[in-house]
Amino acid sequence: MSDSAQYARRTHHFFDADAGPVVRPYAMTRGRTSSATRHRLDLIALVVPEDAADDPGRDQLLSPEHVEIVERCGDTPQSIAELAATLDLPVGVVRVLVGDLVEDALVHVTRPVPPAELPDVSILREVINGLRAL
């Protein structure tokens, strides 16, 4: 194996641990990816700020991206997918950043209806009515 390939293998392993800076955009997660340490946040799970997020001292410990996520979800909670699309970040990066905020109890994440329970008949009817009214 070439040196560079070996290097790549190794960084790949470091990647999931708390490694030093890796290429952007994972630089803003300090190289962490979401797969290893946290359960995957659903793409349509909503991020809802907690009251603690209002605490003026908090934001100094956070990166600008963290702050932006909290701000964007303040008026209308947004899904992981939406945050990724608006911030133009890969979904994996947003998962890590939101995971940080959850750990710090600054936000919580809604749990989408699990598949087995999904078709709640009354909700489906509301979806149909809502679509027709668009």
Please report, as ranges, the residues that interact with other proteins according to CB under 8 A: 4-5, 8-9, 11-12, 15, 33, 35, 40, 42-46, 48-49, 53-54, 56, 58-59, 67, 70-71, 73-77, 79, 81-82, 84-86, 88-93, 110, 112-115, 118-121, 123-128, 130-132, 134
Cβ proximity to other proteins, 20 vs 119, nearer residue: 119
- Residue type present at position 119: P
Contact partners, residue 30, CB within 8 Å, separation at least 6: 18, 19, 20, 21
Long-range contacts of 110-114 (CB under 8 A, 24+ apart): 110/45, 110/46, 110/48, 110/77, 111/42, 111/45, 112/42, 112/44, 112/45
Strands (E) in 1-134, as ranges, are 46-49, 78-79, 107-109
Output the smallest distance, CB 103 to other proteins, in A: 18
Output the smallest distance, CB 95 to other proteins, in A: 10
Output the smallest distance, CB 72 to other proteins, in A: 11
Output the smallest distance, CB 102 to other proteins, in A: 15
CA–CA dist 100, 53 (Å, integer): 13
Cβ proximity to other proteins, 84 vs 98, nearer residue: 84
DSSP state of 133: H
